[in-house]
Structure 1
Amino acid sequence: MRELQIVDAAELATAYAAAEYVVMLDGDTLPLRVGQPASDLEAYSPAPRYAFITAWNPASEPRSDTANEAADALLVAQLDAAGAVRHPAWAQDPAGDWREPGWLLAGLDEDELHRLALEFGQAGVLAWRGGEPVRLRMMMPRPPFASMAPHTDWAGNAQTCGIAGSVA
């Protein structure tokens, strides 16, 4: 498990919640937005739960394409071994200055998603149940000064989230 060193977790959660997420299904691009239902996606690929995860840029620290592609290959191998239904996806900032490939997962167990997010050093993932709005799950405790965003969840505490150091 990687240890996450996050400088400003609240700012990072705000950026992740504002990001645009896109899934490729049968040649179509389907948008996902935190706080909004994913009705089109769910009609294409019915499942009890959904998630978006990436292996790129652990702890939101930029890495080389080579390092990111190697991490993605390891993630794909684990997803395939788990029999996960996956579709290519990506996250990007609304201005289009940043784009990060990842995977939309249909039906993956929540404990497995949590394990993978920690193993691949991800500060946040998307996770939601079918028919409900898309939720952002930050893989760290909520900082005391962070506002309570309606569709953002903060995972456990530093020991269960594999986070070292202070969140400031």
Structure 2
Amino acid sequence: MMREVQIVDAGELAAAYAQADYAVRLDGDTFRLKVGSAAGDVEAYWPAMHYAFITAWNPASRPTSDAANQRADSSLVAQLKAIGAPHQPAWAEDTSGDWRESGWLVAGLEPHMLDALAHEFGQAGVLHWDQGRPVRLKMYLSRPPHVPPAAHIDWVE
């Protein structure tokens, strides 16, 4: 089932996602990710050609109950396992620490599979990058006319 994403201000949402702090825990070590920055430590520790951060929490960027988020997360994990996509616990949080959302860092997931999962779980945006390249934000929304293009944000119309 695909969920429709309806956002009041896509530009503000993209800015919040781009400024958020992301992290993954690999064998007890925490590695930070930032949109526009290289993730060399993650890549050295966990080599792959493609990387992605995805969550199933809060579809359409609307707060959802913990129980609903946990059910969606379990479904996402089941799908990642079914397609054989290696994944590690990860999270995103705003710079003030007031908001935190669990997700998964996925290695080797082909871009079309990431897009399909993002649409299925109603996500407005995901992180993605290829080995050796900076982390990018992919927004599954149209870029509003008042929002200028940004170097590390891709808008899918």
Would the TM-score normalized by the shorter structure come out above 0.5? yes
Partner of 1:146: 147
* C-alpha distance in structure 2 between counterparts of 1:87 and 1:44, whole Å: 12
* C-alpha distance in structure 1 between counterparts of 2:12 and 2:148, whole Å: 10
> How far off is 1:93 after superposition?
0.3
Percentage of matched positions with identical amino acids: 63
The TM-score, its normalising length taken from structure 1, stands at 0.92
2:28 matches 1:50: no
Gaps of 5+ in 1: 158-168
Partner of 1:72: 73
1:116 is paired with a residue whose SS is helix
Aligned residues: 156
Match for 1:38: what amino acid?
A
The TM-score, its normalising length taken from structure 2, stands at 0.98
2:67 is paired with a residue whose SS is helix
Which digits, 9 at most, give the CA deviation of each residue in 1:41-75, with x for residues without a partner? 00011000100000000011000000000000000
* C-alpha distance in structure 2 between counterparts of 1:57 and 1:13, whole Å: 15
Match for 1:81: what amino acid?
A
Partner of 2:119: 118
Over aligned residue pairs, what C-alpha RMSD do you find? 0.5
* C-alpha distance in structure 1 between counterparts of 2:95 and 2:77, whole Å: 27
Partner of 2:108: 107
Partner of 1:127: 128
Partner of 1:136: 137
> How far off is 1:147 after superposition?
1.7
User: Which stretch has the larger CA shift, 145-154 or 127-136?
Assistant: 145-154
Divergent runs of 4+, >6 A: none
2:78 is paired with a residue whose SS is helix
Which digits, 9 at most, give the CA deviation of each residue in 1:69-92, with x for residues without a partner? 000000000000000010100000
